[in-house]
Amino acid sequence: MTFGHEFSGVVAAVGSDVKDLKPGMRVAACPTFHCGTCSYCETGEPSRCTSLHVIGARRDGAFATQVLLPAKQVMALPDAVDFDTAALIEPSAVVAHGFYRTSIQPGATVAIMGCGSIGLLAIQWARIFGAKTIYAIDIDDGKLGIAQKMGADHVINPLTAPAHEQLSLLTDGVGVDLAIESAGSPITSAQVLALPKKGGEVVYMGIPYGDVPIERFYFEKIVRNELTVYGSWNALSAPFPGKEWEATIFYMEKGLINVKPMISHHLPLKEGPQAFQKMISGQPGYVKVLLYPEE
């Protein structure tokens, strides 16, 4: 299986029935397939499709010189959106999907737990959705530095003191309106519940690849603080592929989503395996790596 589902490129060829795309056009694409016929698809909730899958998983993906997709999943790029930026349209749409699920209002306070690529994009989406103050949380000071470049107002390293204690001091004991879990670790999946104010909201965007043991202290926050907890999966809405994609391209074109600070490496495609090994081994400095196929 060829991995990869975040990409941009140039149309090489189109089928005979394709009218809106021409060879040579600059494009990005939605890599996600839905069936269109299950009960969720029929009610306009394609992210809940029972057959949902993404290229790079059940069919070959974008770590290649060419990718084949249906025309409806391919989107033309404005001149102001370069290929590097467009390669991050998909993760940006994933973040937007989570924010659309919430009731965030202009003037809100937002805390983001985990400053990987999803968390860093969440900083800029929080501002687009009207956040007044944004708190970024991570144990990596390097990533916290990038979070500040992305627009975070305050950064918190939990290695100094528990995140909820530091946040409490910064919010006069209140907490935030919305907390985003984007680290995807079992530890932060519990800790994020202590960040919102009473009546606040939590969105889980990260995927914890392991059991999540939740101490009573954190679990009781759901009940005693009457929290609203959302799960967020993929980036689709109706009409397909959804407003998440249109909004992402719009805000990239306007410069309100600037992904350049989070691109840590530009590498030829052949160096991809080594880059993955370095990331898996915990080598610091990796955030978003862009791979370029050889001409």
pLDDT at residue 294, rounded to an integer: 79
Tens digits of residue pLDDT in 135-175: 999 999 999 999 999 999 999 999 999 999 999 999 999 99
Over 70: is that where the pLDDT of 295 sits? no
**Mean residue pLDDT across the chain:** 97
Domain 102-231 homologous superfamily, CATH: NAD(P)-binding Rossmann-like Domain (3.40.50.720)
- Under a CB-based contact definition with an 8 Å cutoff, are residues 93 and 54 in contact? no
CATH fold, domain 8-92+237-258, is Quinone Oxidoreductase; Chain A, domain 1 (3.90.180)
Summarize pLDDT for 263-288 with one digit per residue, the tens. 999 999 999 999 999 999 989 999 99
Q: Where in the chain is the domain with CATH 3.40.50.720?
A: 102-231
pLDDT confidence bin for 292, thresholds 50/70/90: very high
Amino acid 214 reads I
| pLDDT of 220 above 90 | yes
Residue tagged 């033309």 (tokens): 76
Q: Could you give the CA distance from residue 170 to residue 10 in angstroms, rounded to a whole number?
A: 47
Task: Enumerate the CATH 3.90.180.10 domain ranges in the chain, comma separated.
Answer: 8-92+237-258
Quick one: how far is CA 232 from the chain centroid? 10
pLDDT for 60-82, tens place per residue? Answer: 999 999 999 999 999 999 999 99
Please indicate, yes or no, whether the overall pTM of this predicted structure exceeds 0.85.
yes
